[in-house]
Amino acid sequence: MTICAISTPSGIGGIAVVRISGPDAIVTCDRIFRPYKPSHILEVRPTHTLTFGKIIHPETEEVLDEVVVSLFRAPQSYTGEDIVEISCHGSLYIQQELLHLLTHFCGVRMAEGGEFTRRAFANGRIDLSQAEAVADLIASQNVAAHRLAYSQMKGCISRKLDALHDQLLRLSSLLELELDFSEEDVEFADRKELLDLARQIDAEIIRLSDSFRTGQAIRNGIPVAIIGETNVGKSTLLNNLLGDERAIVSDVHGTTRDVIEDTILLDGQLVRFIDTAGIRETCDQVENMGIERTYQRLQRAQIVLWLIDGTLLANGSSTDNCLQEAINVYHRFEPYLNDQQLILVINKIDLLSSDQLDSNLPLFLKELGEIIPQSLNLSYATISAKHNLGLDSLREVLVRSIRLPQQTQGDVILTNQRHYDAMREAHAALQHVIDGLQLHFSGDLIAEDLHAVIDALNSVLGRSITSQDTLNNIFKNFCVGK
């Protein structure tokens, strides 16, 4: 059936684009479109042409608007069907009246979210990974996310998986030939060669799986966890970094009991700050749940901002005061660290004299550095979150701590949870293949696991997905008109 929808953002703008796709798209549009040149009726116009004219009510002949119509004939269109795109003025009345004419007088149905892209997938114009990349491209908020989504939309994942698919088919073919000679007790294929090939394929699948963490950081923002004891200034710092009152600030301990997240662009990179519950011993069950979530987010963070109350440096030696407090907090969250970048943030420096800061801070950093492993790449910044002091220096330290690989449009980096899950399934099945080859299992047993690997990779591209529920779930969050 022919469908239609507004493809530009909702609201008033200079122009709006109404897209029509389906077998009757051209005939339908001719019912309400009058070209200024009578010979330019859409039915005889070639594909990929623009035609200027008027939208007219099919019964009253009243003119609605002057428009430009873009024509794309099947199969050379986004959906693989005939497509007509009407560029009209951005008045809400014009947009809604145009949809009314199409749906009430021309028999066209309103499109569902993502239905144009779903038709492109169903008609073989794109595979499923490319369809998902369309949504990522629309949602991209920085240059890295845009570059990655565009690369995937143009088929970089498809080409990589096609190459792996060809290698798996070669492996499968050699095993099938071996089965043909099984009654004669002939091992047709060189098992060592098959084992080397399987390991080579597995190494590439593992590399793709490992890229998912980077892909998530690019797509959703580099996760930066803000941790520390209660009332140390975490929420104030979050609000100032975001330029918005996202978190409640209070002198009462334990105010933040849940995780608060928001993103900003920092030197062209999308950074996702995560304000967490203060780390302390407490009998409050709800607060303990918040602290447990702190540890969960800490494990998934790439960068950790560890806030310390700088006023502790004002009283006596750093070893007796600030260092002991820091060691106590560090021992609580240390089990949840892996390879994060750790940035020590000394807060409330407005309450310290310059002499106190100059004399106690170097000793404190030296002694703490002897406790914290070098693998955490400890760096530091001094700030006053309350008075916005030192935040520019902290941002510079953050930018230097961001570790994302240099990226080109040809890089294959997974950003989609579904793709990652499929890679893990493929890896698990391929491990059975490798074990079977090493233990000299019969070819029919190995072939069964090999087919599971192929099915897992094909599911990324949509080649082995038959469930409409699965496809509905993939396309449900697409915007209407795309």
Q: What's the pLDDT tens digit per position in 282-330?
A: 555 555 566 667 677 788 888 999 998 888 887 654 456 678 888 888 8
CA distance 151 to 437: 36
- Extract the tokens encoding 198: 């399987």
pLDDT at 376: 83
Least confident interval from 36-40, 183-187, 337-341, 434-438: 183-187
Please, which residues bridge with residue 274 across strands? Answer: 225, 261
- Extract the tokens encoding 117: 């892209």
The 10 Å Cβ neighbour count of residue 355 is 8
CA distance 383 to 390: 4
pLDDT at 325: 80
CA distance 69 to 30: 10
CA distance 287 to 282: 7
In tens, the pLDDT along 16-25 reads 999 999 999 9
SS (H, E, C) 358-407: HHHHHHHHHHHHCCCCHHHCCEEEECECCCCECHHHHHHHHHHHCCCCCC
pLDDT band for 278, please (50, 70, 90 cuts). low
pLDDT at 288: 57
Q: Report whether 224 contacts 271 (CB < 8 A).
A: yes
Give 408 or 364, the one with higher predicted confidence. 364
In tens, the pLDDT along 105-118 reads 999 999 998 899 99
CA distance 446 to 431: 10
CA distance 130 to 117: 10
Helix (H, G, I), strand (E, B) or coil at 247: coil
- Extract the tokens encoding 398: 């953050």
Edge-to-edge strand order for the sheet containing 33-35?
33-35, 49-56, 63-72, 83-90, 13-21, 3-6, 109-110
CA distance 138 to 132: 10
pLDDT at 248: 44
Cis ω on the peptide bond leading into residue 75 (within 30° of 0)?
Answer: yes
**What average pLDDT does range 371-396 have in this prediction?**
90
DSSP 271: E
pLDDT at 362: 87
Q: Report whether 122 contacts 42 (CB < 8 A).
A: no
pLDDT at 389: 92
CA distance 99 to 45: 23
Burial level of 54, CB count in 10 A (0-12/13-18/19+)?
A: middle
pLDDT at 284: 53
pLDDT band for 410, please (50, 70, 90 cuts). low
pLDDT band for 253, please (50, 70, 90 cuts). very low
Helix (H, G, I), strand (E, B) or coil at 93: helix
- Extract the tokens encoding 448: 């069964």
Burial level of 38, CB count in 10 A (0-12/13-18/19+)?
A: exposed
Q: Where are the alpha helices (DSSP H) in 189-346?
A: 191-220, 234-242, 285-300, 324-333
Give 246 or 210, the one with higher predicted confidence. 210
The amino acid occupying position 433 is V
Per-residue buried b or exposed e for 219-230, using 16+ beta carbons within 10 Å of the residue's own CB: bbbbbbbbbbbb
pLDDT at 255: 46
Mean pLDDT of the chain: 85
For 235, list phi and psi in degrees, rounded to 5: -65, -40
pLDDT at 466: 65
N-to-C CA span, the chain: 17
